[in-house]
């Protein structure tokens, strides 16, 4: 019984820890590491909660933006925006602030016309 609880706690910590690791990587200026780890977990997003998807998208946007991958960063922006449209309140205030700063940087850096994020959620992450 004790072994089952320890195993379950370990599984939950590993599964839930990737967003925290990528957030830390981003804030340590390890943007490529952050973007790569987020990309590895993207296929599992439909099984995550709204808040986790919104945070994932925010740090994906910021990490990709820092590496100059503007079209991909825009996808992260659209994704986070769509999560918030479908499930208002998914973005924590600090993530909303970082997302806004990322949007301003994206519009300042990307020279191509930037499509406005769609209010409808991409099918790929809907539950």
SS (H, E, C) 25-94: HHHCCCHHHHHHHHHHHHHHHHHCCHHHHHHHHHHHHHHHHHHCCHHHHHHHHHHHHHHHHHCCCCCCHH
Q: Are 84 and 90 in contact (CB under 8 A)?
A: yes
pLDDT in tens, 86-113: 888 988 898 889 888 888 888 888 776 6
On whether the pTM is more than 0.75, the answer is no
DSSP run (H or E) holding 102: helix 93-109
Q: What is the DSSP letter of 42?
A: G
Judge whether residue 125 has pLDDT over 60: no
Judge whether residue 4 has pLDDT over 90: no
Q: Please give the structure tokens belonging to residue 53.
A: 């998807």
pLDDT in tens, 51-88: 888 888 888 889 989 998 888 888 888 888 888 888 88
**What residue ranges do the domains of the chain occupy?**
2-125
Please give the Cα distance from 79 to 21 (Å, whole number).
Answer: 20
Q: Are 102 and 62 in contact (CB under 8 A)?
A: yes
Please give the Cα distance from 82 to 68 (Å, whole number).
Answer: 22
């Amino acid at each position: 019984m004790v072994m089952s609880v320890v195993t379950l706690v370990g599984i939950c910590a590993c599964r839930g820890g990737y967003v925290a690791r990528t957030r830390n990587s981003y804030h340590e200026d390890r943007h490529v590491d952050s973007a790569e780890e987020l990309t590895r977990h993207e296929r599992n997003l439909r099984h995550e909660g709204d808040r986790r998807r919104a945070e994932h998208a925010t740090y994906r946007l910021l990490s990709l933006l820092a590496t100059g991958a503007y079209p991909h960063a825009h996808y992260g922006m659209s994704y986070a925006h769509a999560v918030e449209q479908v499930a208002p309140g998914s973005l924590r205030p600090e993530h909303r602030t970082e997302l806004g700063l990322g949007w301003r940087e994206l519009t300042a850096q990307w020279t191509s016309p930037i499509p406005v994020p769609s209010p409808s959620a991409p099918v790929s992450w809907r539950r």
